[in-house]
Amino acid sequence: MSDNKKQERDYTPEVDALLPEAEALVKSGKLQEGIDKLFVLEKQSRNASDAKSTTRLVKAIVQHAYDARNFEVLNNSIQTLSKKHGQLKSVIQAMVEQVIAWLPEVKERDGTEKWLELLETLRTVTEGKIFLETPRARVTLLLSHYYEAQANETASIEKRKELLIKASEILSELQVETYSSMERREKTEFILEQMRLLISVARIKDAESAKKEEKDSLGGGEGEWVKVRVGGRKVNEEFLKEKENEVPQDLKLKYYDLMIQHALNERDYLATAKYYEKVWQTPSIKEDVNDKGKAALEHIIYYVVLAPHSNEQSDMLHHLYNNPALLKLEMQYNLAKCFVTPELMRWPGIESLYGTFLRQTTVFSHQQRWEDLHMRVIEHNIRVVAMYYTRITLERLTSLLDLSPEETEKTLCRLVVGGTVWARVDRPAGIVNFRAKRTAEEVMNDWSSDMQKLLGLVEKTWMGMNAAQAAQARVKATSTA
């Protein structure tokens, strides 16, 4: 199977003479006889490496079988021609492209059964051939969409799961990121389709796992979620920034929608906020201040507030708070202000001010996220207390946080372990210390630093006095003269 062999003879005259003769035989009802004549000349032109003549003959063979609606002959001819000894790559490629173009008409006119037979024939012919990797990917995508459509039509949950898994598996087998013959945009579309189907399968498995209350860390759709994360890394975000990929509902928004779903499954709120920020920075979205742009900015604030405190989270929150666009969203601006200002936020007050509004949003209608917001408020309050107090009784801290003693201690310990605050709890005395005992070395370093500052001030004062005395001396000398 090579195109490198030198052409030995030109069979164009013979092909020109045979094609009308074969067509006449086919039209008279002698399909097999007409095709057999074409096969005889096809062998001669193929052995002579006449690519042009062989292509014409091969395309004529499959065309006659297709026009006669004889799918048995069509499928057999495709497989036979692709397996012929010394068959040229360009001939097989031309034949496959010709047959792929018939698929929509076959499905509409001849039914799904014939369409599936032809599709499987194409998948068999293209299997293992690098020069046909792109056509194989395209027909596999069609088959995957067929199984997905079947899954959406069935009422049985088990059958739906089985069909979705089948659709996902056959598409995930394609390593399109390695295909050199496929355009970059088409590669990205395939990867996004793989991710979308994986998420559909993962959600079904997660729902089943939740019903069975499985405890296994890799239970449910965890395997599919991992593959989604891997798929997300295959997409070049710089490519998505190109103008043609930023059209609404196109590649960029599809990609970030899938990544948001993955991040929410992992409860990675900071990553979710970052993805929404990328969506909001899309010109077409940012300009839509009353609809999509507003919704994206709202989600950024909600998820950055939900994210656990860190330097990155704090930096992102402060940048958003100082963004003029946020001033147009009064409720979200005030919510961000509460977390930016180093003051206590009492949960009952936050709940009364923002509870009714926030619980109606798609973000906080989820009970888990509402509980996470409560936890972020508590953590903020502990950081504020640690900022203003050196020592505080556990009873007083509990009242400030509006929690039980057990919940207060549990939350405080989690923040200490996470490195957010430094604290030590004296349980017998019921006292929390927020300042670590300093070592002798730290005390000496602070004393040394203070002494250097003091000596610097003394030297600056002395130099100022000398300058003043010199000026007075010049004035006296001038007046005496």
DSSP-assigned states of every residue in 89-139: HHHHHHHHHHHHTTHHHHHHHT-HHHHHHHHHHHHHHHTT-GGGHHHHHHH
Write out the two tokens for 44. 């001669």
Whose structure tokens read 């991992």? 226
C-alpha dihedral (339, 268, 253, 274), degrees to nearest 10? 40
Per-residue pLDDT tens digits of the chain, which is 481 residues long: 556 677 888 889 998 999 999 999 988 989 999 999 999 999 999 999 889 999 999 999 999 999 999 999 999 999 999 998 888 899 999 999 999 999 999 999 999 999 999 999 999 999 989 999 999 999 999 999 999 999 998 888 889 999 999 999 999 999 999 898 899 999 999 999 999 999 999 999 988 877 665 444 456 788 999 999 999 999 988 888 887 776 655 788 899 999 999 999 999 999 999 999 999 988 888 887 678 889 999 999 999 999 999 999 999 999 999 999 898 899 999 999 999 999 999 898 899 999 899 999 999 999 999 999 999 999 999 999 988 998 899 889 998 888 888 888 888 898 888 888 888 888 888 888 888 776 778 778 878 888 888 888 999 999 989 988 888 888 888 777 6
CA distance 156 to 153: 9
Q: 407-437 burial by CB neighbour count: b if 16+ within 10 A, else e?
A: ebbebbeebbeeebbebebeeeeebbbbeee
Angle at 405 between CA 400 and CA 406, to 5 degrees: 135
Cα 218 from chain centre: 21
- pLDDT per residue over 307-335, tens digit each? 999 999 999 999 999 999 898 899 999 99
The runs of H, that is alpha helices, within 389-439 are 394-401, 405-418
CA atoms 197, 203, 204, 209: torsion sign: positive
Residue 24's contacts (CB-CB under 8 Å, 6 or more residues apart) are 34
Return the DSSP state at 247: S
Q: CA 380 to CA 392: how far, in whole Å?
A: 16
The amino acid present at 407, given as its one-letter code, is: E
Cβ contact 2:45 at 8 Å: no
Reduced to 3 states, what is the DSSP secondary structure of residue 429? coil
